[in-house]
Structures are given as C-alpha cells and as structure tokens.
Amino acid sequence: RKKMGLLLLLLICQCAINSVKTHNVSKPNIILLMADDLGIGDLGCYGNKTLRTPNIDRLAEEGVTLTQHIAASPLCTPSRAAFLTGRYPVRSGMAAFSRVGVFLFSASSGGLPSEEITFSRLLKQKGYATALIGKWHLGMNCESSNDFCHHPLSHGFDYFYGLPVTNFRDCKPGQGSVFLKGIQKSLVIPIQITGITLVSLAMVQYIGLLKVPFQALGYFLLIITISLVVLIIFFYHFRHLNCFLMRDHQIIQQPMSYENLTQRLTKEAMQFIERNTDTPFLLVLSYLHVHTALYASEDFKGKSKHGLYGDAVEEMDWSVGQVLDVLEKHNLSDKTLVYFTSDQGAHVEEISRAGEVHGGYNGIYKGGKSTNWEGGIRVPGLLRWPGVVQAGASVDEPTSNMDIFPTIAKLADAQLPSDRIIDGHDLLPLLQGKVTRSKHEFLFHYCNAYLNAVRWHPGNSESVWKVFFFTPNFSPEDSNGCYDSHVCFCHGGFITRHDPPLLFDLSTDPEEKVPLTPETESRFYEILRVVHQAVDNHTRSLHAVPNQLSWDNLLWKPWLQLCCSSLFQSCHCDSESGGSSLQMH
C-alpha cells in the first residue's frame, strides 16, 4: 500500500510538472524586435568587432542565432507585409510592378488589404493583448481621412504608438531629401517638352501658320502653373504631412520630433509590458533605427566608433536591454519568446551630404537593400526563450521572416488559416534541436513583383543553390550598389537578364563571387531544370489580386491627408513635448 501510495504521489507530481511545462510552452508572451535597414555585419554576435551591441548579443548567447535568415523582400513595405502575414508579398498585392516599391506618403490609398490575416489578429482572437510600437509603413486610409482601413488597429493590434509611414531624410531638417534627385530627373523632360511646345506655338502664331486660341493657351499655362505650385507646396510641407507620430487613431506630434525619440518608443514598450504582466501579450517593437535620417540622443551621440550610424545602432541596443530588463524585473523572461531581426539588409548607398557613410555593413555579403544579393536579404535572426529553445546554438539552415507567423500562431494555440497558402514554416523544431533540416526546400526571391532569384536546398545535400534570372546594374559598375539612383530597380535598363541564369552554391561561395558554369558544375542543367519546375509550381499557386502599390494607390491624395490642425495651419500639434524620458544606465 505504501508503495502504491508513493507511486501515485510520484505520478501526480509528474503530471503537475508536465502541466507546468505545457503551460509554459503554450501561450507565451511574444516580443518581436525589428530594426530598419540594419546590416547583418553590424552586430557583435555576427562578427562585428567595433560596434558595441551587448544586449542584442545577449539574445544570441541565451538563444539561437539563425545564420541564413532571409527577408522575404529587400524593401521595407513588402518585407513587413510578408512578416505579418507569413506570405510572399506578391500574394497580397504588396509588391509593385512600377519602379517605386514602398509607400511614400501618409495620404496614399494603398496598404495591407483587410482580407489578409496577420499574426496579431490571430493572437488577439486567442486573448492576447497586442501592440505595435514604432514604424508601420503598410498604409493608413482607403477612401476618407478617417476610415483607417489599413491602420494597425484594423489588423489585430489593440494599441499603436508610432510612425505611420517611415523615417525619411526629408523628416529631419538639414538631412537632404530622398525625393529631390528623382523629382529633378522626372521633371526635366516634361518641363523641356512644355517649354519647346509653348515656344513653337508662339512662333507659328507669330508667323501666322496657325491660329492658337489665347484662351486655350491660358488654360494650359494655368494647369501647368497650378501643378507646379501644388508640387512645390507639397514637398515644402512634406515633413508636416508625412512625418508624424500617432497614438492609436490620434496624431500626437506633427511633425515628429527626434528629441529622445528612441527613449519614448522604449518607454511605451516597457509600459505596455507592465500593463500586461498577468495577460499573454504580443509586442512588436519596430525601431526607426537605422533608416535615414539617422539620429541619436545626447547620451549616445558621438560615443561610437562609426559616426552617427554607430551611435544609432548602440542606442537601439540600449533599448533592447531596457526591454529585457523589464522582463526580468517582472519574472517574465522564462515566459517570453524574444525575436530580433531587420526588415532587410543595410542600405549601402546611404551617404550624407557631408560625405559620411550613413548606411550599415552587410559583412561578407554582396549588395544591400533593394537587391536580392545576400547583402540585401540575409538579415539577423535571434530567438531567445530560456528553458525552451537552445542557448548559444546556431542554425545555418535557410529560414525566413515569414516563419514567425506560423511559429507564434502555433504557440498561441491558434489555427492557421486554411483558405490561403502560408509560405512560412514553424521554427520551433529547429530552435529546440528536434530537427536539423529546414522545411524550406525552395525560397523565392522577388524584386518588387518580379521573380528575381530562387534558393534551393536539396534534402539530400549540404549545398544551397541560388539561381538568378536577372541582376541589378550597379552604378558605378565596379561598386557594390546603385549609387547613381540611390537604390537599385527591378526592370528595364536597370537590370541585366541572364540566359542561362546565374548559378551559385552559397554553401561554398556565400559572397556570390564566382558563378558556376556547365564546365565547373556537372549538375548545372539538372539544377536549373529542378529550379524551373519549382518556379512553375510556385507560379501556379499565385492568384491575381489588386495591386496595392499601383501608381493610383501610391499617389498623394489630399482628401486622405491626416492633419491634427488644418492644412492652412501647416498641420502642427505637439502633445508629446515635456514628457519624461527614460534614465540612461
């Protein structure tokens, strides 16, 4: 009887332990930290020796480092759409056929469609408190300035504090403009044509060859003048119209101030965690660092070895440390999965007007933001969950930022949508060391809406083949980017098509230096055959959807403009100034 009683007691204890383990692994808190334009070579845990990132490195020491973590796109808007939905951006219409691949204005009508299911929506349905703090860049309104059809709160977030578009150079006085060069190039030909037309009409009128009604000429001149005036006014007020902070649906600072901005974002994140210590929560902290315009608070300015860029990286690392500290303070570390990444690689062409490098470092990898060379899409991928995922482990298998969707959906006990293709895969078996191979046999690399390259990791091989159908034309030719145009483009004279496609084996040539040939790779044509078959299968899985980045959806529409005062008062308000900032440690 004593033995039976003891056995029963042990059984009850084991059940209780299993119950606790199951509870811990089920419905953890989720914190997703996303940098903007951070290079994989900017972090100590990925080999940087001069930038100080101890808090981000701590995630690597206490968790898993993904060394072949791939962004679904090398541009902000499509990459973030893929991240939130677990799907290639071309499936949701968030990939452009035009030259412009991201949203530029707060009053554009395009955005992440309401039909798309985000991980925030799934987790909210499972009782999670959900918040997005920082950059959004996935649209705002559809038909009126207050329908908020694309707003974070319409996509499953309970709380939003941040920037609806992105951090442009134009947002910070004295930092130049990302539009000026493009506008100058775009307007030169139309102005020349208009000028030549007007002079020609005046001449034929003077000679008497043709009678041009002065009224028609007047209307034509009036339209041209009004268009130019609107354009000049818009770009003169660009900062007020597009660079502002919101809390939920309300504008709280227009234009946005950079003073203690990272501290304010961090404070909001910490307060959200402290409001939800007894509730499972999802926090997406989407940093403005290190997209230009670069900025850093006084506590970090001039402290790094890499100018303002390094200061910004080190300030972001401080913020990550603050978030980790608040988890420890409330005994939440063991109950929280923390993920750190960047939306794409470093923007290598970013150089200030003073000649200072304002772009990051992509390590050994070629190219950068806007390209599907490894430097544009291979990003940091760090995941920490003490006691659940391996500590100090490294995974060299191909993984994607689309994998976060199914991973956290499963942890929240949420059902994946069955009416659509989810391109991501659950990462937990890899993170726990239960499997050693990624489920991604193929990854498709899009340049906007154009299929640019394919990665193939055969199940029976260590090779990672990468096939390029076209590559961007770098300018200057011997450089590592498209410096003449500031970013690389995806079609026409901006690219070189390859037939046969370029082939690399990333397992032996991660720098993509030497394309393989039929002479240097005996399976050359067999590899291309398999990849072409995979492309055919993938293409058949795509369905026509409205293009959210069409010119119509990209253009500024005055009736969609968010303004906290009025357009005549230059859209100015500030309920943020005078707020307390976090103490530096």
One-letter amino acid at 363 equals: G
Sign of CA dihedral 101, 119, 167, 314: negative
Mention every residue, 6+ apart, whose C-beta is less than 8 A from residue 495.
470, 471, 472, 473, 489
Amino acid of residue 494:
F
Q: Are residues 50 and 431 in contact, defined by beta-carbon separation less than 8 angstroms?
A: no
CB atoms within 10 A of CB 231: 13
Query: Which residue's entry shows tokens 């008497």?
Result: 208
8 A C-beta contact, residue 527 and residue 112: no
- 157: tokens are 């977030």
End-to-end CA separation in angstroms for the chain: 60
Residue 119, token pair as written in the block: 């991980």
Q: How many CA atoms lie within 13 A of 325 on its CB side?
A: 13
- Sheet containing strand 442-447, strands side by side: 442-447, 450-456, 465-472, 495-505
The closest of 406, 341, 471 to 80, measured between CA atoms, is: 341
CB 21: neighbour CB atoms within 10 A?
Answer: 12
CA nearest to 286, candidates 175, 137, 150: 137
Nearest Cα neighbor of 376 from 352, 339, 400, 348 is 348
Whether 76 is a known active-site residue: answer yes
* DSSP per position, 165-199: S---GGGSTTS--SSHHHHHHHHHHHHHHHHHHHH
Would residue 491 show up in a list of annotated catalytic residues for this protein?
A: no
Choosing from 13, 23, 45, 137, the catalytic residue is: 137
Contacts of 470 (CB under 8 A, 6+ apart): 447, 450, 452, 495, 496, 497, 498
Q: Is 386 exposed, middle or buried (0-12, 13-18, 19+ CB in 10 A)?
A: middle
> Which residue in the list 13, 15, 45, 76 is annotated as catalytic?
76
Cβ distance 367 to 40 under 8 Å? no
Q: How many CA atoms lie within 13 A of 372 on its CB side?
A: 27
Asked if 139 and 174 count as a contact pair (C-beta separation under 8 A), the reply is: no
Amino acid identity at 60? A
Please report the beta strands in 220-278, taking only residues with DSSP state E, as ranges in sequence order. Answer: 245-247, 250-254
Contact yes or no for 368/347 (Cβ under 8 A) = yes
Residues 6+ apart with CB under 8 A from 161: 131, 132, 133, 134, 245, 246, 247, 248, 265, 268
Tokens of residue 184, six digits:
């100058």
Q: How far apart are CA 404 and CA 377, in angstroms?
A: 16
Which residues are tagged catalytic?
76, 137
